[in-house]
Structure 1
Amino acid sequence: MAGKSRLSEWVRRRTEGASGAPRAAEPDLRRDPLVRAAATAGFPVAPAAHPANFGCSCERIGCPIPAVHPVSLAWQTQASTDMDKIDHWLRTDPLANFVTATGIAHDVLDVPAEAGRLAIERLIADGATLGPVAARADRLLFFTETRGNPADEDEWWPCELDSHPETAEEHPGIRWHSRGSYVLLPPSRLPSGHTVEWLPQHDLDLPLPDPLPVLDVLSDACAQFSYEPEREPATWLR
């Protein structure tokens, strides 16, 4: 119980305690080993934009999604676990954030932080399998096994919202990142001053769980906070 309380308090500090000031443009020394660890775990990664000049490092004037999108429009084919390619990206831009493409080696269940905190407490109390979990500002990212290419295509639900992580503010409920989507990897930096972080004792050392039991708990937790699902649960669980 003490460990559960400490974990919940850490998540609360991470998601509520940002200063709101952009960080100085200095390399995060944790980035390279964390990105390499993700690739070693089988997660395809690709370089992403980063905060710059109170906005985004990309060339788009007035970028509407600063520092949360891949650098290349071809990120789905670019994403790789090849260490030589990854080392080249890391050397080329020491400030770049990185994303991981979902629906290949893993999926991600992405929920509002308050619902995610409640779900973590319930999963730990029930002794359920809980894999890697990352905190991104006011959202938690639950990494799971992928169901991105089932034998029965009816089991996969394409959702435009899930393919655009930047729409979370407009549609704050639970979303399932699978084929065609991505999430930022730790320790990506956001313009708000937040960084994406692995939760203590819930990093890449843990195996990926089956997504459906985790989804059940996350859905119940979101319902308690009146977050509507992005589609009918019956469609999710075919």
Structure 2
Amino acid sequence: MGVTEAAPIPKQRGEQLLDQAVRYAEERHWDVFPGTWLEPVDGRELCSCGEAECAAPGAHPARDDWAAQATGSAVQVRRAWQRQPKASILLPTGRTFDAIDVPESAGFLALARMERMELTLGPVALAPDRRMLFFVLPGAGAKVPDLVRKLGWAPSAIDLKARGEGDWVAAPPTRFGGRGAVLWARRPTPANRWLPDAEELINPLAYACGREAAAARARRG
């Protein structure tokens, strides 16, 4: 009679976060730092920061000196998540990548157009607050406003912003309170290790955001 293999035991959430944080540091060479986490309180999950109405519960920096905490050392990453296994995974922008942040609906429209155009794409994250983040080369934070103006839009008129130096993004599988987890719309792979420049993606992204802004104005009458 053959021996039946036991089904693999699913990893606890803390182990998933630790494993993924280490992979970002080791495989992508991204700096990583631990953020806040969710704590069960009276049947609810509240942010560890203690703010009852936290805007990003369990998914923002836990300390003011977060930039100094960020590290690409897998050893230090392991130590950080062993100290607090439930900590969110946050990635500083302006170092190995920047991120162009757009509404989810505009992001999917732009993503479909980019794929038809066969543009080179980096990783793309989808956050539970209905935002989409396109990873691009560092420097986007400084030049995106001018790129948008050259395409005929005022930066303040469309919902598109670049996250660069001094900012950060939450990485999968970080959870935003009860809204769900950050996901990859296009996950990091060896094929997208080389990131595009913001100039390569700005046209479809600005177009999609401009269309959405025009539709919103039309709905308001």
Give the TM-score range, shorter chain.
0.7 to 0.9
Out of 66, 72, 87, the position equivalent to 1:75 is: 66
Secondary structure of the corresponding residue to residue 90 of structure 2? strand
Q: Does residue 187 of structure 1 match 2:188?
A: no
Q: What percentage of aligned pairs have identical amino acids? A: 27
Q: Does residue 42 of structure 1 match 2:29?
A: yes
Cα deviation for residue 203 of structure 1 reads: 2.1
CA distance in 1, matches of 2:158, 2:22: 30
Please, which runs of 5 or more residues in structure 1 have no aligned partner?
1-25, 158-170, 228-238
Closer/same/farther in 2, CA of residues 221 and 172 from structure 1, 3 Å limit:
closer
Verify the 8 A CA contact 1:107 1:147 in the aligned structure 2. Answer: yes
Cα deviation for residue 98 of structure 1 reads: 1.3
Cα deviation for residue 172 of structure 1 reads: 8.3
Closer/same/farther in 2, CA of residues 63 and 139 from structure 1, 3 Å limit:
closer
CA distance in 2, matches of 1:135, 1:211: 18
User: TM-score by structure 1 length?
Assistant: 0.70
Q: Does residue 143 of structure 1 match 2:135?
A: yes
What is aligned with 2:115? 124
CA distance in 2, matches of 1:139, 1:119: 13
CA distance in 1, matches of 2:56, 2:176: 10
What is aligned with 1:31? 17
Q: Deviations over 1:104-143 (max 9, x none)?
A: 1100111110000001100000010011011101111111
Q: Deviations over 1:155-179 (max 9, x none)?
A: 587xxxxxxxxxxxxx981110000
1:98 aligned partner, one-letter code: I
Verify the 8 A CA contact 1:38 1:204 in the aligned structure 2. Answer: no
Secondary structure of the corresponding residue to residue 212 of structure 1? helix
Cα deviation for residue 183 of structure 1 reads: 0.4
> Mean alpha-carbon deviation: is it higher for 35-44 or for 97-106?
35-44
CA distance in 2, matches of 1:101, 1:141: 13
Cα deviation for residue 70 of structure 1 reads: 0.9
Equivalent positions of 1:96-111 (< 5 A) are: 96-111=87-102
**Structure 1 runs, 4 residues or longer, greater than 3 Å off:** 59-65, 154-157
User: TM-score by structure 2 length?
Assistant: 0.75
| Structure with the larger RCO, 1 or 2 (CA within 8 Å, 6+ apart) | 1
What is aligned with 1:17? none
What is aligned with 1:177? 163
Cα deviation for residue 61 of structure 1 reads: 5.6
Closer/same/farther in 2, CA of residues 156 and 214 from structure 1, 3 Å limit:
closer
Aligned residues, how many?
Answer: 185
Q: Deviations over 1:9-29 (max 9, x none)?
A: xxxxxxxxxxxxxxxxx6254
What is aligned with 1:161? none
Q: Does residue 198 of structure 1 match 2:184?
A: yes
CA distance in 1, matches of 2:137, 2:106: 21
The structure with more radius of gyration: 2
Equivalent positions of 1:150-229 (< 5 A) are: 155=143, 173-200=159-186, 202-205=187-190, 206-207=192-193, 208-226=195-213
Cα deviation for residue 51 of structure 1 reads: 2.2
Q: Deviations over 1:28-80 (max 9, x none)?
A: 54322221121121211110112223320124465444222111110011111
Cα deviation for residue 222 of structure 1 reads: 0.5
Closer/same/farther in 2, CA of residues 115 and 189 from structure 1, 3 Å limit:
same
> Mean alpha-carbon deviation: is it higher for 174-183 or for 46-55?
46-55
2:20 aligned partner, one-letter code: L
CA distance in 2, matches of 1:94, 1:123: 37
2:22 aligned partner, one-letter code: R
1:141 aligned partner, one-letter code: L
